Amino acid sequence: MNAKFDLRPRVLLVILVLLTAWPLLAQIDPAKRLTSAFALVKEGKPSPAVVELRALLDSNSLDLLGSGKIWNILGLAYEDLGEFALSQHAYEESLRILEGLPNNIPDYAMALNDFGALYVATGQLDVAEKLRTKALGLYERIDDHGGITRSSGDLAGIAFSQKKVAMGSKYLERAVKEAKLANDLDDDDRIAIASLQGWKAQLDGDLAMSAMRYRQALDLSRRFHGEEHPFTGWDYLLLGTVHAEAGQLTSALEEMRRGVAVLNRTLSRENPRYLVAELAYSRVLEATGSHAEAARIKATAESLLKDVNRKQCAGCTISVAALR
């Protein structure tokens, strides 16, 4: 028998299998697809998450609550990609939908709190604080300990970034207290608290405690996410910054080099967060005497960051949703 005819039954079998499986694939629970897309974002894979979330929106397979959740997760994914204008639009759509739904405080509060992260990334800390304070109040209204933990921690971060250590410490104490009462926290929440404790200790001048907390966050991130994840890269950077401040430049340089390498593999080179990491790395290189390399990395990162901010944030304005 001619060999070319031997393939026909196999090809026919493949076609039949696909035709049989297609209705099953089409019937996959949209809610499960939404959960899977959110998992992709948490795994540091925003690009495939965007593809799946846009497909879910186009399918019109979820109710209004589901659509509001899709837009919120899209906001997170676009933010991770550095697409700030698209992220803002997604968050605004999420809030527009969720605000109008009755008895839906948790999802609306979550969207508000997540939206705050975008304003932190674009340097509009007053708006970020307003959003997250509003989210905290909503979580308090329904006695949501997990939500209170996250919003309090996020508000602590905003305060610490403005060197308001006393205010940040109060929010952090609240987050730690509420975390003991919550039953829905995951390792990302524990990583965030450990990092905030490291930041507070660093601001207090207790560099040994700061390094211990940052190391704890890094160990958790590596165990929970693995080496190839943006959170792991950031935790290497944080540990490196405190070691540099303590004068331990050899350790700092190795940690920051590893952190930048992880971020290079897991983020776009045009991502503002990656470029900020490059700038931090250049400062440690400068301190170790690698002046030429430091200058080269700094110049490239500053130029790209300026371009990214001009392109991505041209449409990033203060949202009406943030001011209500």
Last residue within a domain, chosen from 102, 119, 144 = 102
Q: Is the pTM of this model over 0.95?
A: no
Instruction: Give the tens place of pLDDT for each residue, 94-145.
Output: 999 999 898 889 999 999 999 999 999 888 999 999 999 999 999 999 999 9
Last residue within a domain, chosen from 85, 102, 119 = 102
Domain region containing 285: 205-316
Predicted pLDDT of residue 8 = 46
d(CA 31, CA 37): 10
Cα–Cα distance list, 144 to 140, 183, 265, 269 (Å): 6, 10, 37, 38
Q: Is residue 125 part of a domain?
A: no
d(CA 118, CA 316): 9
Nearest to 271 by CA among 242, 245, 239, 304: 304
Last residue within a domain, chosen from 66, 81, 102 = 102
Instruction: Give the tens place of pLDDT for each residue, 241-296.
Output: 999 999 999 999 999 999 999 999 998 787 888 999 999 999 999 999 999 999 99
% of residues, the chain, pLDDT over 70: 87
Q: Is the pLDDT of residue 2 over 50?
A: no
Instruction: Give the tens place of pLDDT for each residue, 22-79.
Output: 344 344 688 899 999 999 999 889 999 999 999 999 999 889 999 999 999 999 999 9
Show the DSSP H helices in the chain as ranges: 3-26, 30-42, 46-59, 64-80, 84-99, 105-121, 125-141, 145-161, 165-179, 187-204, 207-225, 230-245, 249-266, 272-287, 291-312, 320-323
Q: Is residue 236 part of a domain?
A: yes
d(CA 298, CA 281): 9
CATH of the domain at 215: 1.25.40.10
Q: Is residue 199 part of a domain?
A: no
Q: Is the pLDDT of residue 177 over 70?
A: yes
C-beta of residue 218 within 8 angstroms of C-beta of residue 243:
no
Q: Is residue 155 part of a domain?
A: no
Q: Which residue has the higher pLDDT, 283 or 82?
A: 283
Q: Is the dihedral of CA 297, 303, 306, 312 positive or negative?
A: negative
What domain count does the chain have? Answer: 2
d(CA 92, CA 86): 10
